[in-house]
Structure 1
């Protein structure tokens, strides 16, 4: 059995009370049975924390035996008060009230047995006040301990909730970074792959055209590195110097994006309808990424000779962005558009939903593939 420090302190307190009472009674010439009963009445203090009510009851019974022998049990009073305090401080209200009632009953019996004519009314009042004060002190300590435990439990729950929110925020941020990396890397790598294949085919027959394709690959790679560097710069939080942050791409970059796709061999054109207005930054980036993903998919999956049209329609309260191609490929899976629904379109769908938009992606009735998003715009935007 493990004995902790409070139990050792209780055992030491019980030993001090027992030895002190025994020595005092022996010095005064009390009979040996009285001395032994008094010592025994002090020993329950050693187990007061483990069995508060049992220890208190044992002390009361031994005190009544002393009264029955015609002895004043007052020498055990200190142990009685300690045990009453313990029952009030370490047990529930029902047990604590039972201990208080038991103390009143025991005192009444002791007063009736031990020379009742020598006890005045003021003595009874003082004893009742002392017993009530000791019991009240124990209950106050218990309530304060329960209040502190509740505060600790509440702090623990708040900390767990904060940790859960932090984990959710980190997961959301990882998802956002994954979407950005996919949009940047997949687009530029796809363009570089197509250009490299074209350069390999004409390397021997047309070195000038191959050199032009290689230059385009170099420029595309440099653009990819710049975008990734900007992204990493946003994520950096340490270091002695602030990270350089470039502006995020948006609708104003669509002409350059379409031109880049033309250089990669895709017949693409841009059509803008309506009067451009102020667009929120998040919607601006989401619309750009949608066009980027749609053109990249056309370049990769639509087949040779495919053409793509990017249509941007500005309306007073809505932004409509559409990427259509006329690609015709033999595979049934490709005809249903299944090969195009990868991580890129999943990320685009999340982006569009984030800003309350509606995304439609699938094969066109006349052939080819279509990606369309409609973003709601608030008044004044």
Structure 2
């Protein structure tokens, strides 16, 4: 059952991707039905009898033309309906015995009903049913009140109803899909709006906390500077308040940033930023990778600023990486670190 279901699903997908092939197969099936119906005599007392009559050559031609017109039913539904309607009327009036070309008209009418609005469907359907029923009653070989003539009216009405039902279902499914997409967009917009509001609230809270503690630190630092010489005990107390306020501000900032951090974000680094002090370790990793590196580093008079130290380390790291990637086999590198001027 699973294999059969998957095969049917693949077949449906292929037919959706090749609508002309589906319409060709449908036209062939409709032609087969019309030919079979042309060999059937429906007026016997015990129901239809097969093989009692044979279609006329003109009737066969009308059936082939009507079936061929169905291949274009998706692209020109109104034109195909008009063509099959004319051929069906000709089959009822001119062919002897009457050719059952009405079958193709029923399929064309279903296509029109499935692809247009309801008022157009019923106007076109009533016109088609009226023309074919009158043609069958006036020119048919059976009495005007026979069941064959009533059947023409019933089949055209059934085609209109079925096509309208298919169109309504498609419209319903499209409306549900559109509502779902609109709801999804609304949820995303609402989520973005809430994120923006939350960020604004957090920014206000941070501003209030930091401004409060910085103002407190400023006041206590001013007190400490004012009484440093005359009352050192009070100055120490003020500096203790400065330390407590700064620690409280840092704790507030750390807790707020912790709330903003996502679950997948990397943890904040605990090691100090690299600098020229660990240049030997960096060079050692490239030497272990097969790149001979010579280092010439002048004695430093004192520590560099952290930003300058980190920048120098990154420059050397990037340069050695480029040599390792692009210089090829047998390459050598020489690193010279020279400090010029005061910092």
User: Is the TM-score greater than 0.5?
Assistant: yes
Q: Which residue of 2 aligns with 1:14?
A: 27
Matched, 1:84 2:109: yes
Q: Which residue of 2 aligns with 1:115?
A: 141
For residues 47 and 132 of structure 1, what CA distance do their matches in structure 2 show?
A: 22
How many pairs are equivalent? Answer: 236
Displacement of 1:209? 6.0
Tell me: CA distance 1:22–1:79, structure 2 relative to 1, closer, same or farther (3 Å): same
For residues 23 and 134 of structure 1, what CA distance do their matches in structure 2 show?
A: 21
Q: Which residue of 2 aligns with 1:153?
A: 178
Q: Which of residues 217, 220, 223 in structure 2 aligns to 1:192?
A: 217
Deviations 1:184-236 (A, max 9, x none): 11221233345456667887898766654443322111111233344456557
Determine helix, strand or coil for the equivalent of 1:158.
Answer: helix
Q: Which residue of 1 aligns with 2:132?
A: 106
Matched, 1:130 2:127: no
Q: Which residue of 1 aligns with 2:78?
A: 53
Q: Which has the higher strand share?
A: 1
Greater mean deviation of Cα atoms: 5-14 or 51-60: 5-14
Tell me: CA distance 1:200–1:7, structure 2 relative to 1, closer, same or farther (3 Å): farther
What is the root-mean-square deviation in Å for CA atoms of aligned residues?
Answer: 3.7
CA contact (8 A) 2:34 2:103 kept: no
Q: 1:1-381 maps to which residues of 2 (within 5 A)?
A: 4-18=17-31, 33-104=58-129, 105-117=131-143, 120-196=145-221, 211-232=236-257, 238=263
Tell me: CA distance 1:187–1:209, structure 2 relative to 1, closer, same or farther (3 Å): same
Displacement of 1:109? 1.0
Displacement of 1:121? 2.8
Displacement of 1:92? 0.9
Deviations 1:346-377 (A, max 9, x none): xxxxxxxxxxxxxxxxxxxxxxxxxxxxxxxx
CA contact (8 A) 1:86 1:138 kept: yes
Determine helix, strand or coil for the equivalent of 1:75.
Answer: coil
CA contact (8 A) 2:85 2:102 kept: no
Runs of 5+ unmatched residues, structure 2: 1-15, 40-50, 265-343
For residues 217 and 165 of structure 1, what CA distance do their matches in structure 2 show?
A: 43
Determine helix, strand or coil for the equivalent of 2:87.
Answer: helix
Displacement of 1:5? 3.2
CA contact (8 A) 1:22 1:39 kept: no
